[in-house]
Amino acid sequence: DMKKLIAYSSIAHMGFVTLGIFLVFTLVDKNGSLQGAALGMEGGVVQMISHGFISGALFLCVGVLYDRMHSRQINDYGGVVNTMPVFAAFMVFFAMANAGLPGTSGFVGEFMVILASFKANFWFAFLAATTLILGAAYSLWMVKRVVFGDVANDNVQALEDINAREFVILATLAGAVLLFGLWPAPLIEVMHASVDNLLAHVSVSKLPVQETGVALLNAVQP
């Protein structure tokens, strides 16, 4: 089931978000590395936003196929690129973004979290990078089975390519994925103040009790 596969992929991406948040407390507790903690937290937030665009687009792609064939089963498809070339281009693009292709927003957040993981523990980073390989494997396997190859049956042969409304929606999402993949700086700069404020409070919580009151007062002052 394509929808289930994308849902499981979403859980894997949320793992990066969780790791980014976890690194905040790990790095501050281990060596007081606020820079590494900020990198992990910001990477997790970027990943959440990117996940919304990419997974939303993949669910829409599945919806486009379901609207035409009333099936989400991978085995019912094959060779969609022969009858729906524009749709196939979008689906391949979003699947590659889902796998963390550099130049897409799917790469930025995950890469930031992995870099922060290195500051905490090599094995955290190694295991996180391994999940990228697994995620790419099943995403590309789905695309290979659904999009490429010979036309599977008469139902696939009769499919019509996406209409103007579907094109505009998918193109808008593709534009957002490319924009934040090639130029993530505006998105990251917006969250700097909030992340710094959060880290100030995390740092305060690690101080001895007698110092906490003064430090908290200094942290919340402009």
CA distances 137 to 28, 99, 168, 197, Å, are: 34, 8, 29, 38
Q: Which residues does the chain have with pLDDT short of 50?
A: 204, 207, 209-217, 219-220
Distance of CA 52 to the CA centre of its chain: 7
Q: What burial letters (b/e) apply to 23-48, b meaning 16+ CB within 10 Å?
A: bbebbbeeeebbebbbbbbbbbbbbe
User: Quick count: other Cβ atoms within 10 Å of Cβ 136?
Assistant: 16
DSSP string, 98-137: HTT-TTSHHHHHHHHHHHHHHHH-HHHHHHHHHHHHHHHH
The total of structural domains in the chain comes to: 1
Q: Which domain holds residue 43?
A: 2-184
**pTM of the predicted structure, to 2 decimals:** 0.80
Q: Would residue 211 count as lying in a domain?
A: no
pLDDT at 12: 80
pLDDT at 215: 46
Let me know how long the chain is. 222
Q: Would residue 72 count as lying in a domain?
A: yes
Q: Would residue 77 count as lying in a domain?
A: yes
pLDDT mean across residues, the chain = 80
Q: Would residue 220 count as lying in a domain?
A: no
pLDDT digits (tens, 9 = 90+) for 162-187: 889 999 999 999 999 999 888 888 88
pLDDT at 173: 93
